Amino acid sequence: MLVVRVPAATGLATHVLVLLLAVSAGGQTQSEPPPSGPTYQGTAPAQGAPVYAGGGWGGGYHSSTAAGDALQGMSSAISAQGQKNLNDSLAVRNLTAAASSSIDNQVKYTEAQRWRMDTDNQRREEKNAESIAKARAYNAKFARQPLTPQQYDQTTGTVRWPMLCMDASYADYRNKVDQLLAKRAQYGGISMEEFMEVEKQINAWRTQVRADKDKYPFSAVKQAVSFLNALDFTLNQQFG
């Protein structure tokens, strides 16, 4: 506590002095005000430094400067362009793979069709060859054969008829054929009308023998029919 001794005084000046001393004794007093410092301005963030700001629930990160926003936008654009290029590359690769697969499938289909056609042609050729072989075998077994010179002598027109053909029931057929063949041997040929008459007699004779198959043994009928077929074949060859 500061004690100030003052000389005794009277009057208004004395009361004022006492009041000032009392105020000084109740609290500290300064003869001069304290020096004033600079106003607090806070610390400015560095250029481009990010600032974390609360946004309540879900508050996020953001750039605090235009330059940062531009860089962030450029980064997003570059990333989007890269993703697009990747997607385009994958699409081209997929299209190339699809085209290659389509070509492979087409080649395989063409080869399968060609193989099927070759197989069908080969089978057809084999079937035709088999049919031809069977036809030749059949002809060799059942085809008409010409009469031998012992059976029919062209120089004299003499025919050595089988037993059934010598039967009296066939005398008319036999006599007409013998006459025409003898004329052919004598004159070296016959006319078309006469040749057609020989054909007519042979065909009618053969039909009659077949109709009489129940009257004679089967072997005799077969021999007679075969002989008449061979005679007809021989005359057609010679006339031709």
- Average pLDDT by stretches of 10, the chain with 240 residues: 47 52 48 54 54 48 68 82 86 86 88 88 89 78 81 94 96 96 91 93 96 95 94 84
- Planar angle of CA 141, 145, 151, nearest 5 degrees: 135
pLDDT reported for residue 195: 92
**Contact present, 210 and 225 (Cβ < 8 Å):** yes
**Contact present, 62 and 73 (Cβ < 8 Å):** no
pLDDT reported for residue 1: 47
pLDDT reported for residue 113: 87
Count of Cβ atoms closer than 10 Å to residue 81 Cβ: 10
SS3 for the chain, per residue?
CCCCCCCCCCCHHHHHHHHHHHHHHHCCCCCCCCCCCCCCCCCCCCCCCCEECCCCCCCCEECCCHHHHHHHHHHHHHHHHHHHHHHHHHHHHHHHHHHHHHHHHHHHHHHHHHHHHHHHHHHHHHHHHHHHHHHHHHHHHHCCCCCCCCCEECCCCEECCCCHHHCHHHHHHHHHHHHHHHHHHHHCCCCHHHHHHHHHHHHHHHHHHHHCCCCCCHHHHHHHHHHHHHHHHHHHHHHC
**Contact present, 209 and 118 (Cβ < 8 Å):** no
Q: Which residues pair with 152 in a beta bridge?
A: 159
**Contact present, 192 and 235 (Cβ < 8 Å):** no
Question: Tell me, what amino acid is at 77?
Answer: A
pLDDT reported for residue 93: 85
Of the candidates 176, 168, 164, 152, the one whose C-alpha atom is nearest the C-alpha of residue 235 is 152
Largest CA distance in the chain: 210
Of the candidates 137, 201, 132, the one whose C-alpha atom is nearest the C-alpha of residue 165 is 201
pLDDT reported for residue 179: 95
pLDDT reported for residue 198: 94
pLDDT reported for residue 6: 46
Distance CA 30, CA 23 (A): 12
pTM higher than the cut 0.85: no
pLDDT reported for residue 227: 95
